[in-house]
Amino acid sequence: MMSPSMLFLMVLLYGFVLFGVASYAVSGARTGRSRISHPAIYVLSLGIWHTSWTFYGNVGRMSTVGMDFMAIYLGVTLVVGSWWFVLRKMIRICRKQQIVSIADLISSRYGHSLPLGMLVAVFSLVVTLPYIALQLKAISDTFALLSTPLAPGADFSFAGFSDMALPAALILGGFAVLFGARHLDPLSRHEGLVAAVALGSLVKLIAMVAVGLFFVFGMFDGPADLFGRFLTELPRHRHLLLLGTEQIPFSSWFSMGLVSMLAFMCLPHMFHLQVVENTDPRHVTDAMWMFPLYMFAIQLFIVPIALGGLVLAGGQTPMAEYFALFIPLAAGKDFLALLVFIGGISGAAAMVMVSAVALANLMANHLAVPVLLKYGLEQEGFSRKLLVLKQMLILAVVLMGYAYYRLMGDKGSLVDTGLIAFVGAAQLAPALLGGLFWRRANRNGALTGLCLGVLVWFVTLMLPALVRAGWLEPGILEQGLFGCSMLKPAALLGLDNLQVLPHALFWSLGLNLCGYVVLSLFTQQQARELEQSEKFVDAADGVVTTGAQRRLTKAPTVVEFVELMAKFVGETKAYAAIADYLGDKEIDTRGSLGEREIADLKRFSELTLAGSVGAVPARIIIENYLSSRGSEMEDVFDIFGSVTISRKAGREQLGVLHEAARLVSGGLELNTILDNLLDLLQEQFRLDLCVVRVLDESSGLLQVISRRGVVLEHFGEAERTVDQETYVGEVFLNNSAMAVNDTDFLEKPLPAILIRREKILSFAHAPIDIEGQAVGVLSAFSRSAKGIFTNEFMELFENLAGQMGVALRNARQTAQLISAREREMELQLARSVQQSLLPEKTPDVSGISLAGACIPAREVGGDYFDYFPSGEAGMDLLIADVSGHDFGAALLMAEVRTFIRAKAEEDLPPARMLEVLNAFFYEDLSRSELFITLMYLRYAPEDRRLTFSGAGHNPPLLRRAADATCVPLASEGLILGVLEQVSFTEKHLQLEPGDLLLLYTDGIIEGQSPDGELFGEERLAALLHDLHDLEPEEIIQRILEQLRLFIGEASFKDDVSMVAMKLARS
Amino acid sequence: MPRPDSFKPREVWGLATVLFLVFFNFPLLQVFNSEKTVFGLPLLWAYLLGGWIICIVLIRLFVKRLEGQEAAEPPVGEGDGAP
């Protein structure tokens, strides 16, 4: 028996020792040399896994139920054995992406999903609270037990507290703040905390071994005696040595192992120590066998303590959990009891402190900061505020744990409460592990799975706990949720032959996995997720190279490797290097290479590039090149090739540029690309606001098309005029970048006021140009620091702006292509409609042969010809040219055709036809400022008489067969659409057998040769003379051929139409 | 070229995991599930502890082999090994 004040003093003393060790570690960290970077310290820090649960809960479990607690440690051994593949990968990813918590990791993997991060953060908190409560309960219980032993239930009070949980919570919270939130660390490393935890783990081990040896050799004569007495004295407790008993069916054994494996990875404090506080990934390798050894040693004596305790207590179990404490006490070994007590406190304290720090980070980063940023918190002194916030959160977490302990009571045993936390934490495992190894896993799946898992966890474990604590009616357990017997918390869907743990684990993890897998399979990943899933899944693990595993669509040739290298090291060097490499090897430099040769050459190219750009970028370049051949990704390397990056450019810069190039060439939509680029910029350099403005042609203003970061109305939303009044305008006009590293010194008065009002400390603008012509401006603003826009940064910044230019150009070209394509399709349609308006077949008129052709200069034109029967056996012929060859002309042409076809039935003479046409179209034509030339002819076959009337059209050519002369059929009519009332004259002509008549539009005679010479009427007449023996169809073809030859490679400037009519020789 | 090494860590690890699950699970555990004692220790407890120790030794050997392999062949896919 010890006095409470004495105990309290011992605890405080121990606290100060821990604090001293922590300070020592921190002082090392400040000088830059970590004093805790050692595999043994890493292993000991992971000893946090052994909380007070190990000390008391397991002993209680062993002496009442059996040895299923060993599954916890065996399961974890299996997890630790997989560290080479799993933990190392997690650490690597977290380093690369600066991830500092499990919520961070999961949300990053699924496209930096804010809701997912929030959900994981909240849920981590909820599941950890029971575990924290459990530790507080252990501290409180043992404190009471040690100061008032052998009188369980006796009233306890110390310094006004009837229970030590609250003082313990406050003290632990205070220590956690001291160790974990004295100042802000971007990497969230807390060397002091780790040192304290490691020391605590050492104390735990010593205490456990000491008390174990005391039981085995102090209270008994060795293990044989201990177990012998147990078996003989307590035969009804023999089942404790067995598995598969009523209390521990094998399903429970297996579930216990599985749930502890998953909880070991997913509990926030475990994740924090394994991943975030890892100082060197190489320590993982040593820890893989050292940590199981530690676990082995610390649990070795649990069975002897439990069974020995049972023997000594005569089989009484009410105090079984605390055998290790009160049996030494009863034997007068106060010091040993104190050691155990301190060991238990160590386990509890370490868990509470690290959890509080980890959870405070989680909540600060995923809940508080996003909310604060959203509601535009004053940014002044943000980092100091963040620190205070974290400190408050740490205290809040510990106090919430205490609240859980008070509200939920201490009815449940340590193990039961612990399992609630374990099953809860295990719900994070599918999203975490799936994210690392399954490429298709997506956000929808993770969200759905997690929600389902949490829901089932709540129903199967939390509801019964709430009932036990008296917060809910026990009826729920009997009748099921909402009175539905299918929803009994202990027997969902009537599954009632499983114990609580296997039952809860089966349903929660099962539904979680189903939701996760099904949604991942049947919904799409977003673009950002796709990026991240590649980065996560492909994060190379150790000796396995990703490049070699990927299938190449087509094996690359040596020449391609050389071209790739030349982009980075210059052609001369690249060729010299390859010549050196090939030496006397016989390789066809243009042929495809074999697998082995590719591997060799890949390594060689990598080395060559590494000398110039560094090892990591070199590998990125080569691997991406190999994996992306034949895809759009090749653009990446062109971009890289054209951007001049100084050799000094570091790995980070190259990384950003490479990432940017990937985004630009990724084939996403412009807005997505710009958003992603801004995200990249903002994340990498912790800027407060990044904005892209692009010149809007119609308004002449620079308008915001993409924005990331805090909402600042003037800087993030308002457009800018293109003038020298603003910095954006100036950068745009001068097409050169600028940076202001201290906004206390600004020349432009108006911007200065606004910039200071928004508390911007520094900013930079860079023009976004397309082929040297500025089209927009990229801006970055920082409220947190002056002087961040260094020359190196500006180089990168301008390169990013350049890549945005590429993205803009690509997007515009694509848009143009699409609109051209759409237009072309419309025109194709119009053209086929127009072509269908031309006469399909020649009328059946005796003694003549007839043909016509119309070739529009563009898709549609204003030329038109027609022939149709008229009178008894006659035929009307006409050819017309509407000025212009656009849609308007084409429409008018269609109208003219309809009109003429309709009037043709009235059998009007040609001159009269022209008059009504003119009268009818005059208004339309003069309004649209168009006009029509037209030639209307009527042929009567019985007397071979031709009647014609013209309206300003080129006179048709008539070749007389009799004297082989060519004469134009002149007629002096006015163009249609000039005057409202016009009268046309009509001429008559007698045709003879063999005569050839050609109607044409001015497109023919105005065809120009490359020298500017016109095709002319004479040339046409001569051609007609030469071709008169041919059939009309062929004549037209020949004329067209000649015209094409004449104008050379140019296309027709004007529509070309012809109608040829030939009278049969008698 | 690195010397061809027949040691395939993933396969070895996969096999070990399966064996682990078999040896520490129903039904194989049933073989040792009795109240007998060996050297005065309960049989099942001794079996679990013995198997566990063997596991730790195997992990140690596995890790040593992996480290040896990694040292022989610089980690091509390792992100942190850059100069």
Mean pLDDT, rounded, for A777-784: 88
What's the pLDDT score for residue A545? 30
Instruction: Write the CA distances from A1061 to A843, A849, A987, integer angstroms.
Output: 12, 6, 18
Within 10 A of A723 (CB to CB), how many other CB atoms are there? 11
What's the pLDDT score for residue A504? 92
Beta strand segments in A493-549, E: none
In angstroms, the CA B55 to CA B41 distance is 20
What's the pLDDT score for residue A958? 92
Q: With beta carbons under 8 A apart, name residues in chain A contacting B21.
A: 78
What's the pLDDT score for residue A109? 87
Range scoring the smallest mean pLDDT among A341-350, A652-661, A1027-1036: A652-661
What's the pLDDT score for residue A640? 40
Within 10 A of A790 (CB to CB), how many other CB atoms are there? 12
Q: Are A754 and A353 in contact (CB under 8 A)?
A: no
Confidence of residue A769 (pLDDT cuts 50, 70, 90): confident
Is residue A154 helix, strand or coil? coil
Q: Are A713 and A846 in contact (CB under 8 A)?
A: no
Instruction: Write the CA distances from A345 to A55, A340, A341, A750, B3, integer angstroms.
Output: 10, 8, 6, 63, 53
Q: How far apart are the first and last CA of chain B?
A: 21
What's the pLDDT score for residue B75? 44
pLDDT above 70 as % of chain A: 86
Q: Model confidence over A4-39: pLDDT tens digits? A: 788 888 888 988 898 888 888 887 766 666 778 889
Chain B residue nearest residue A280, CA to CA: B80
Name the residue among A956, A977, A972, A1016 with its Cα closest to residue A882.
Answer: A977
Question: Chain B contact for A615, CB < 8 A?
Answer: yes
Confidence of residue A478 (pLDDT cuts 50, 70, 90): confident
- Scanning A667-734, the segments in alpha helix (DSSP H) are 670-685, 727-734
In angstroms, the CA A471 to CA A481 distance is 15
Highest averaged pLDDT of the listed ranges A69-83, A525-539, A616-630: A69-83
Q: With beta carbons under 8 A apart, name residues in chain B contacting A253.
A: 25-26, 29
Two structure tokens written together for A199: 């020391």
Greater pLDDT, A250 or A710: A250
What's the pLDDT score for residue A96? 72
Mean pLDDT, rounded, for B12-16: 88
A519: Cα separation from own chain's centroid: 17
Confidence of residue A556 (pLDDT cuts 50, 70, 90): low
Confidence of residue A432 (pLDDT cuts 50, 70, 90): very high
Is residue A314 helix, strand or coil? coil
In angstroms, the CA A602 to CA A618 distance is 10
What's the pLDDT score for residue A226? 92
How far away is chain A from the Cα of B62, in angstroms, using its nearest Cα? 9
DSSP track, A802-856: HHHHHHHHHHHHHHHHHHHHHHHHHHHHHHHHHHHHS-SS----TTEEEEEEEE-
Q: Which of A95, A288, A619 sits opposite B63 (nearest CB)?
A: A288
Alpha carbons within 13 angstroms on the beta-carbon side of residue A249 total: 9
Q: Is the pLDDT of residue A288 over 90?
A: yes
What's the pLDDT score for residue A595? 58
What's the pLDDT score for residue A648? 41
Mean pLDDT, rounded, for A844-857: 86
Q: Is the pLDDT of residue A598 over 90?
A: no
Question: Chain B contact for A297, CB < 8 A?
Answer: no
Pick among B47, B59, B62, B66 to test the A interface (most A CBs inside 10 A) = B59
Q: Model confidence over A296-351: pLDDT tens digits? A: 999 999 999 999 999 998 888 888 888 998 889 888 888 899 999 999 999 999 99
Amino acid found at A293: L
Q: Is the pLDDT of residue A630 over 70?
A: no
Question: Chain B contact for A433, CB < 8 A?
Answer: no
For residue A973, give the DSSP letter.
Answer: -
Q: Is the pLDDT of residue B76 over 50?
A: no
Tell me what the pLDDT averaged over chain A comes to: 82
Q: What is the pTM of this model?
A: 0.58
Q: With beta carbons under 8 A apart, name residues in chain B contacting A74.
A: 24, 48, 52
Confidence of residue A100 (pLDDT cuts 50, 70, 90): confident
What's the pLDDT score for residue A568? 59
Q: Model confidence over A531-551: pLDDT tens digits? A: 778 778 877 543 333 333 333
A26: Cα separation from own chain's centroid: 38
Pick among B55, B65, B69, B70 to test the A interface (most A CBs inside 10 A) = B55
In angstroms, the CA A729 to CA A722 distance is 5
Q: Is the pLDDT of residue A642 over 70?
A: no
Two structure tokens written together for A179: 């160790």
Q: Are A652 and A671 in contact (CB under 8 A)?
A: no
Instruction: Write the CA distances from A245 to A302, A412, B33, integer angstroms.
Output: 20, 22, 10
Q: Which of A227, A253, A288 sits opposite B41 (nearest CB)?
A: A227
Q: Is the pLDDT of residue B51 over 90?
A: yes
Two structure tokens written together for A613: 């750009």
Q: Is the pLDDT of residue A172 over 60?
A: yes
Greater pLDDT, A663 or A61: A61
Q: Backbone phi, then psi, for A221, in 5-degree steps? A: -100, 65
Q: Is the pLDDT of residue A592 over 80?
A: no
Helices A527-537 and A429-437, packing angle to 10 deg: 80
Mean pLDDT, rounded, for B35-45: 89
Residue whose structure tokens are 């693990």: A541
Mean pLDDT, rounded, for A59-74: 90
Alpha carbons within 13 angstroms on the beta-carbon side of residue A674 total: 27
Two structure tokens written together for A703: 């308008």
Mean pLDDT, rounded, for A836-841: 83
Largest CA distance in chain B: 59
In angstroms, the CA A940 to CA A876 distance is 9
What's the pLDDT score for residue B81? 32
Confidence of residue B77 (pLDDT cuts 50, 70, 90): very low
DSSP track, A544-583: --HHHHSPPSSPPBHHHHHHHHHHHH-HHHHHHHHHHHHT
Q: Are A345 and A143 in contact (CB under 8 A)?
A: no
How far away is chain B from the Cα of A250, in angstroms, using its nearest Cα? 6
Confidence of residue A639 (pLDDT cuts 50, 70, 90): very low
Pairing state of beta strands A945-951 and A848-855? Answer: unpaired
What's the pLDDT score for residue A497? 79
Confidence of residue A202 (pLDDT cuts 50, 70, 90): very high
What's the pLDDT score for residue A636? 38
Instruction: Write the CA distances from A248 to A254, A498, A894, A1005, A1012, integer angstroms.
Output: 10, 11, 92, 105, 103
Residue whose structure tokens are 């598969």: A244
Q: With beta carbons under 8 A apart, name residues in chain B contacting A244.
A: 26, 29-30, 33
Q: Is the pLDDT of residue A198 over 90?
A: yes
A323: Cα separation from own chain's centroid: 54
- Scanning chain B, the segments in alpha helix (DSSP H) are 9-23, 28-32, 43-72
Name the residue among A728, A815, A714, A822 with its Cα closest to residue A767.
Answer: A728
- Taken in order A144, A145, A151, A153, the sign of the CA dihedral is positive
Mean pLDDT, rounded, for B39-44: 90
Question: Chain B contact for A289, CB < 8 A?
Answer: yes
Chain B residue nearest residue A300, CA to CA: B49
CA dihedral A26, A28, A29, A33 (to 10 degrees): -160
Range scoring the smallest mean pLDDT among A18-32, A188-202, A719-733, A1022-1036: A18-32
Question: Chain B contact for A92, CB < 8 A?
Answer: yes
Q: Model confidence over A395-428: pLDDT tens digits? A: 999 999 999 888 886 656 566 778 889 999 999 9
Is residue A125 helix, strand or coil? helix
Q: Model confidence over A920-936: pLDDT tens digits? A: 888 888 888 888 999 99
Pairing state of beta strands A487-488 and A491-492? Answer: antiparallel
3-state SS record for A342-382: HHHHHHHHHHHHHHHHHHHHHHHHHHHHHHHHHCCCCCCCH
Residue B52 to residue A74, Cβ atoms within 8 A: yes
Q: What is the CA radius of gyration of chain A?
A: 45
Confidence of residue A382 (pLDDT cuts 50, 70, 90): low
User: Any idea what the Cα angle at residue A942 is, between residues A936 and A948, rounded to 5°?
Assistant: 15
Q: Model confidence over A981-1027: pLDDT tens digits? A: 888 999 998 999 989 999 999 888 888 888 888 888 889 999 888 88
Confidence of residue A356 (pLDDT cuts 50, 70, 90): very high
Mean pLDDT, rounded, for A196-214: 94
How far away is chain A from the Cα of B77, in angstroms, using its nearest Cα? 5
Greater pLDDT, A1 or A94: A94
Residue whose structure tokens are 């890493």: A42
Pairing state of beta strands A701-709 and A720-721? Answer: antiparallel
- The pairs formed by A545-550 with CB atoms below 8 angstroms and a separation of 24 or more are A545/B76, A545/B77, A546/A623, A546/A627, A546/B77, A547/A602, A547/A622, A547/A623, A547/A626, A547/A627, A548/A599, A550/A626, A550/A627
What's the pLDDT score for residue A508? 94
Confidence of residue A465 (pLDDT cuts 50, 70, 90): confident
Q: Which of B29, B66, B80 sits opposite A95 (nearest CB)?
A: B80
Q: Is the pLDDT of residue A631 over 50?
A: no
Confidence of residue A649 (pLDDT cuts 50, 70, 90): very low
Q: Is the pLDDT of residue A187 over 60?
A: no
Mean pLDDT, rounded, for A645-652: 47
In angstroms, the CA A959 to CA A1060 distance is 11
